[in-house]
């Protein structure tokens, strides 16, 4: 027989949740509000002012930076998601006893330092690195070239850093799918490629979209990789925010840049939700 446990008094619940709410208000909500407030700080006087935003949007350099940020973000999505998809597919369908280990191996890099993985790419792409040494040895290059500096290196490293996020979001969608559906399609005589295009791809679409969104938002807000691998030549919103806060010490302007980044974040998340609704209502 089930005996119901006496309902706990509600003051206990308030007491339990209060420290958490307080911690989030102090370390999360307040800093964001203060950031918004600082971005509206005038150069003189006490009233709020939009001058930091006006300066930002009147300067064509910052439009270029925003465009560049979105371009690098999209480039990362276009390369990362097609790489993550086969791995997720493999892990979702594998019957191997190594499946658990291989899944952990694909996710574990997510929990290792971005700084260290970026450093690894500096070694691989560096002047005396793996790629250059191999190319010179093979006679393709007469002299080592600089690969470790600039947009190319930044995108390569970002793709590798974001790959586990792509794999995990596609995998979690695929494991909810019915493996039998695919089997049924192949039993009915559909060719492998047809199964892929007609069944697997449309079914995986929501997972691919979640992966795209995640990779995109993480790419446009990443700082360490463009800062270390950009060689001072990759200007994205994140590096501009860093320079404005630590070198130029223009906090209202850094605040305006951060709020702008957040706005783009919001726009892309909303877009994603709209498209996802449409995709899900169709299937």
Residues 193-252 interacting with another protein (rule: CB under 8 A): 217, 220-224, 228, 238, 241-242, 245-246, 251
Given candidates 50, 78, 115, 181, which one binds another protein under the rule CB under 8 A?
A: 115
- How far are the Cα atoms of 28, 183, 271 from residue 266, in angstroms, in the given order? 17, 39, 9
Nearer to another protein, 151 or 173 (CB): 173
Residue among 10, 47, 60, 95 that touches another protein (CB under 8 A): 10
121 vs 151, beta carbon nearer another protein: 121
Residues 167-186 that bind another protein (CB under 8 A): 168-169, 171-172
Is 2 a binding residue for another protein by CB under 8 A? The answer is: yes
Query: Phi and psi (nearest 5°) for 15?
Result: -60, -35
CB of 148 to another protein, least distance (A): 10
* Closest CB 124 distance from another protein, rounded Å: 5
Q: Which is nearer to another protein, 212 or 258 (CB)?
A: 258
Q: Which stretch binds another protein (CB under 8 A): 50-58, 179-187, 262-270, 274-282?
A: 262-270
Q: How far is the CB of 269 from another protein (least distance, A)?
A: 8
Segment 16 to 45, residues that bind another protein, using CB under 8 A? 16-17, 19-21, 23-24, 26-28, 30-32, 34-35, 38
The answer to the question of residue 136 lying near another protein (CB under 8 A) is no
Q: Looking at 9-17, 56-64, 183-191, 270-278, which segment touches another protein (CB under 8 A)?
A: 9-17
Q: Which of residues 65-104 bind another protein (CB under 8 A)?
A: 83, 86-87, 90, 100, 102-104
Q: In this complex, which beta carbon is closest to another protein, that of residue 151 or of residue 252?
A: 252
DSSP of the chain: ---PPPPPPHHHHHHHHHHHHHHHIIIIIHHHHHHHHHHT--SSSSS---HHHHHHHH-HHHHHHHHHHHHHHHHHHHHHHHHHHHHHHHHHH---TTHHHHHHHHHGGGGS-HHHHHHHHHHHHSTTSHHHHHHHHTTS-SS----SSSHHHHHHHHHHHHHHHHHHHHHHHHTTS-HHHHHHHHHTT--HHHIIIIIIHHHHHHHHHHHHHHHHHHHHT--HHHHHHSTT----HHHHHHHHHHTS--HHHHHHHHHHHHHHHHHHHHHHHHHHHHHHHH-
């Amino acid at each position: 027989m089930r005996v119901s446990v006496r309902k706990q008094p509600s003051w206990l619940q308030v007491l339990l949740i209060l420290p958490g709410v307080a911690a989030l208000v102090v370390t999360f909500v307040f800093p964001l509000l203060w950031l918004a407030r600082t971005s509206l700080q005038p150069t003189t006087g006490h009233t709020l002012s939009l001058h930091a935003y006006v300066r930002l949007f009147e300067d064509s350099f910052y439009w270029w930076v925003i465009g560049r940020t979105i371009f690098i973000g999209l480039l990362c999505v276009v390369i990362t998601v097609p790489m993550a998809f086969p791995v997720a597919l493999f892990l979702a369908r594998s019957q191997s006893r190594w499946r658990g280990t291989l899944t952990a191996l694909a996710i574990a890099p997510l929990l290792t330092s971005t700084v260290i993985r970026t450093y690894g790419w500096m070694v691989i792409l560096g002047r005396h690195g793996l790629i250059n040494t191999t190319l010179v040895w093979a006679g393709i290059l007469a002299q080592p070239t600089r690969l470790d500096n600039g947009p190319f290196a930044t995108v390569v490293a970002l793709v590798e850093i974001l790959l586990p996020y792509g794999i995990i979001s596609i995998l979690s969608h695929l494991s909810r799918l019915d493996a039998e559906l695919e089997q049924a399609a192949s039993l009915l005589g559909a060719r492998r490629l047809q199964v892929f295009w007609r069944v697997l791809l449309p079914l995986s679409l929501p997972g691919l979209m979640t992966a795209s969104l995640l990779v995109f938002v993480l790419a446009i807000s990443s700082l360490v990789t463009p800062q270390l691998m950009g060689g001072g030549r990759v200007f994205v919103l994140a590096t501009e925010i860093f320079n404005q806060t630590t070198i130029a010490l223009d906090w209202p302007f850094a605040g305006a840049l951060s709020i702008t980044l957040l706005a783009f974040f919001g726009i892309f998340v909303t877009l994603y939700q709209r498209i996802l609704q449409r995709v899900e209502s169709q299937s």
